[in-house]
Amino acid sequence: MTQVHDLQARPAQASIKPHNEAAAQMWGLGGRAYDNISFGVSDALAHGAQRLNPKEGEEILDVATGTGWTARNAARLGARVTAVDIAPELLAAAQELSAHVRPPITFRQADAEDLPFGDASFDGVISTFGVMFAGDQEQAARELARVCRPGGRLALVVWAPEGAIQEFWALIGKYKPGPPPPVSPLAWGEPEHVRALLGDAFDLAFEPGVNDHFVDTVEEAWEWYARGFGPMKALVDNLPPDQLAAFKQEVDAYHASYRSEAGLHLQREYLLIIGRRR
């Protein structure tokens, strides 16, 4: 097992790529309320941690940890977890919510495209609905491979390119100013795209899943995401009143399509990527 003896091999001060600074601000808008977003996808987060299967004493890296939900899952059986994110507001919440965990989780601000750790530092690397949003996908993939030791494990949970999440992001994109990213984050849900990014460094396997999220009413669903989900909160905070009303009407209709006898049952397709470092 590799010991992380060189975690400070690079400067401790966070270095966020200029093209990711706006994303860091946006994702941080949810603050501690982002933990509710993780709660809504907690079955998928558990799926990723269980497939990573961290062992006691192993060194694990959680990339784009948010409020630390996956870091806590990875630490459950005694792994030594380091967790990074670009948003300081999320890291502050993660530290507060993880104070009880033993061994303690180390939280650091860092960009997935420039991880501040030495080569082959970790026995396992995980990212759940996180690294897929890095601006430079190829560089982020290189960093995942670089910090994972030979024989080490990789687990990435990413949204599927079609279905519920694609429809939700299309709604956000309709009202979000500026051009879309050159490569969609949802491309991570396509196995061939992932093989092009990671196939030279990892032996890969894929396991699809469906996230189940239960909410009572359409209004509660709106409040859930308007408070905690940074990309949506950015619109709620900045859209003119007429556009905000139109946006809310479309989001409410989207959520209403998941109405069941007991309330809302959102079902969202995702892909689990499992890798073994060569």
Give the chain's mean pLDDT: 94
**Residue 14: band (very low, low, confident or very high) from pLDDT cuts 50, 70, 90:** low
Is residue 230 a part of any domain in this protein? no
Q: Which residues neighbour 170 within 8 Å (Cβ) at sequence distance 6 or greater?
A: none
Residue type, 109: Q
Q: How far apart are the first and last CA of the chain?
A: 15
Is residue 194 a part of any domain in this protein? yes
Q: Say which CATH number the domain at 32 has.
A: 3.40.50.150
pLDDT of residue 8: 34
Q: Using CA atoms, how far apart are residues 27 and 107, in angstroms rounded to an integer?
A: 17
Q: Using CA atoms, how far apart are residues 255 and 2, in angstroms rounded to an integer?
A: 46
Cβ distance 3 to 121 under 8 Å?
no
pLDDT tens track for 180-233: 899 999 999 999 999 999 999 999 999 999 999 999 999 999 999 999 999 999
pLDDT of residue 36: 97
Is residue 261 a part of any domain in this protein? no
Is residue 258 a part of any domain in this protein? no
Q: How many domains does the chain have?
A: 1
pLDDT tens track for 241-271: 999 999 999 999 999 999 999 999 999 999 9
Is residue 5 a part of any domain in this protein? no
- Domain of 46 in residue numbering reads as 18-164+178-215+268-277
Cβ distance 158 to 190 under 8 Å?
no
pLDDT tens track for 75-110: 998 999 999 999 999 999 999 999 999 999 999 999
Is residue 41 a part of any domain in this protein? yes
Angle at 232 between CA 228 and CA 235, to 5 degrees: 130
pLDDT tens track for 178-187: 888 999 999 9
Is residue 192 a part of any domain in this protein? yes
Alpha-carbon torsion 113, 35, 7, 11, what sign?
A: positive
Quickly list DSSP for 47-95.
HHHHHH---TT-EEEEES-TTTHHHHHHHTTT-EEEEEES-HHHHHHHH
Is residue 22 a part of any domain in this protein? yes
Average pLDDT over residues 120-130: 98
